[in-house]
Structures are given as structure tokens and as C-alpha cells.
Copies of this chain bind each other. A is one copy, B any other.
Amino acid sequence: MKLGFVGMGIMGSPMSVNLLKAGHEVTVWNRTKAKCEAAREAGAKVADTLAEAAEGAEVVLLCVSDTPDVEHILFGEGGLAGSLKPGQTIVDMSTISPEATVEFATKLEAMGVEMLDAPVSGGQKGATEGTLTIMVGGKAGVFERVKPAFEAMGGNIVHCGPHGHGQRTKAVNQVICALNILAAAEGLLFAKRAGLDLETTHRVVSSGAAGSWLLSSLGPCMIGDDWRPGFMVRLQAKDLRIASQAMEAVGAPSFGTQLTTRLFNEAVMEGLGADGTQAIAKFLGWYE
């Protein structure tokens, strides 16, 4: 397929490389041009403007940070909306507000442009290895048409329902992840304070009913004082803000999510935003 790709961050860059490896023709764009280098080396054309990235592309993929970024790229000054043509498709792989997603899709539809929301999970590792989970919202026919591109980037590609349902599924994922991280941090921090051997404790609890992907992955980081990011605290905080709003929008109870949203936000305010999410243990007092 002929594709445009907007957003060459730590996710977008390796994702575009995997699209190129799979034989797709990709034109990339990023605000900071230097970040387009990996894609250029893999064969991408680098566009000077958003319009150029979209020109002649069957599908334009976006992978940026937050709702206002997507809005700006689509509808802001010099945004894609000014140059998109009927029949083109926007695939937003950022994690943003489900409500805003539905709005954007409606606006684009009025221009004859289709949209899918397709947030991912699996982190930089999944993006590089092409094993991302991709949670897709939008029309089934459009999903089928874009699927070959998804298959170059992900290992678990699921159509979750209409516009916004990809983002809502991602919100479910982030709600659960955040509480599982808090669980691991609070459990292991108690173990530390109580004088338990941390390796033994982690081994015992992670093999049974308390086991989770995050306890297995991040527990050893906490125990080993390794706060480097797999996924950053500030992005988890952003995703939790989006999830909290989405939960409020449908009247879902959010006792746990309100707590994790507060804790991750406070961790950002204490300067831990660029650490990995395991740093919630540091925030709670790992070194006190």
C-alpha cells in the first residue's frame, strides 16, 4: 500500500520501519525532522509538509502523544484536513480520548474520509519486533482494507467495534495495567519494609494467584533499582486521565482509577515523569 505516517517517536519510527520491511511504500513526517532518519534509512520518503505526507496515500497513519496533537495534525493550520481527498483513510494509532475520536471521525466522514482508531499496546519492544496488540475501532470494511498494514506492525490485531471502541478497549487495558502496577509496587514495598527477602517474595507471589505480566516484568526492576522506562510514568498518567474521563462519560465507577490517576500525576509532579512506570514504587517511598 501507499502510506503516509505522521509521528516518528519511539513507537512510530520502528512501526514505519516494519511497514517498509513488509513492502509498503511509506512517506513519513515529523515536526523534528531528525527523528525521520531511521525510517529514511529503511527506505521511507521524508515529507516536508503534512500535505506532502498524505499526497496520493491510500492510508495516513498517525502516532502522536495526545488528543490535542491529533486534533492539530488533522484540523489545525496546515493540517491534513486541508489536503485529504475523498476515499483516503486516516488511522490514528495514538492513545487519545474516545469521545474526541468519534468527533474527529464524524468530521472526516463529512469530507468523504474514513477513519479508524487503532491504539496499540506492547511498548517500544512490540513496536520494534512487530508484535504490537492493535485495538481497532471503526467500520469493519475499512478495518479489512487496512489490515495488511496492521499485520506488518502487530501480532494481535482486533476489531473492537465502531469509532472510539479501539480507544475504549485501550482505556480498559490502561486501567488494569495501572492497578496491577500499584499492586506490585505496594506489595513489594511492604515486603521491603517488613524485612522479607525480596527475590524470594517475588518468586513466591508471582507464581500463584497474585501473578501478573506486570509483576513479572516490573517487579525485578523495582527490586534491582532499575527505573529506566519501558513505558513512561508521564504517558501512563496521560492515559489514565483519558481513561478517567472516558469512565466518567459512561458513568462507570472508578475508585481504583481515580487513585492511580492521582498517584501517577503526583509522581510526574515529583519529577518522575520520564522514569518507567515501575517508579511508582520509588514515588511511594522505596528509598525511605
Given A189-B252, A200-B160, A253-B285, A179-B176 contact (CB < 8 Å): no
Chain-B contact segment, one of A7-15, A107-115, A191-199: A191-199
Tell me what chain A mostly uses at the interface: helix, strand, loop, or mixed.
helix
Chain B residues with CB under 8 Å of A176's CB are: 183-184, 186-187, 205, 210, 212, 215
Partner of A160, one of B168, B172, B196, B285: B196
Count of this chain's copies in the oligomeric assembly:
2
Contacting B at CB under 8 A, from A162-206, are: 165, 168-169, 171-180, 182-184, 186-197, 200-201, 203-205
Q: Tell whether A34 is near chain B: CB-to-CB under 8 Å.
A: no
Decide: A183 and B183 in contact? CB cutoff 8 A.
Answer: yes
Chain-B contact segment, one of A23-31, A139-147, A255-263: A255-263
Chain B residues with CB under 8 Å of A251's CB are: 193
Q: Tell whether A269 is near chain B: CB-to-CB under 8 Å.
A: no
Distance in angstroms from A53 CB to nearest chain B CB is 30
Decide: A186 and B197 in contact? CB cutoff 8 A.
Answer: no
Chain B residues with CB under 8 Å of A179's CB are: 179-180, 182-183, 186, 256
Partner of A250, one of B169, B194, B213: B194
Decide: B259 and A256 in contact? CB cutoff 8 A.
Answer: yes
Complex formed: what's the CA distance from A129 to B226 in Å? 38
Chain B residues with CB under 8 Å of A49's CB are: none
Partner of A209, one of B122, B135, B186, B188: B122
Q: Chain B residue with minimal CB distance to A158?
A: B204
Q: Tell whether A208 is near chain B: CB-to-CB under 8 Å.
A: yes
Decide: A191 and B172 in contact? CB cutoff 8 A.
Answer: yes
Decide: B204 and A133 in contact? CB cutoff 8 A.
Answer: yes
Chain B residues with CB under 8 Å of A247's CB are: 190, 193
Given A183-B180, A201-B160, A133-B208 contact (CB < 8 Å): yes
Q: Tell whether A83 is near chain B: CB-to-CB under 8 Å.
A: no
Distance in angstroms from A29 CB to nearest chain B CB is 29
Q: Tell whether A100 is near chain B: CB-to-CB under 8 Å.
A: no
Decide: B255 and A259 in contact? CB cutoff 8 A.
Answer: yes
Q: Tell whether A19 is near chain B: CB-to-CB under 8 Å.
A: no
A to B CB contacts below 8 Å, 7 in the list: A161-B197, A172-B187, A173-B204, A173-B205, A190-B254, A193-B252, A194-B250
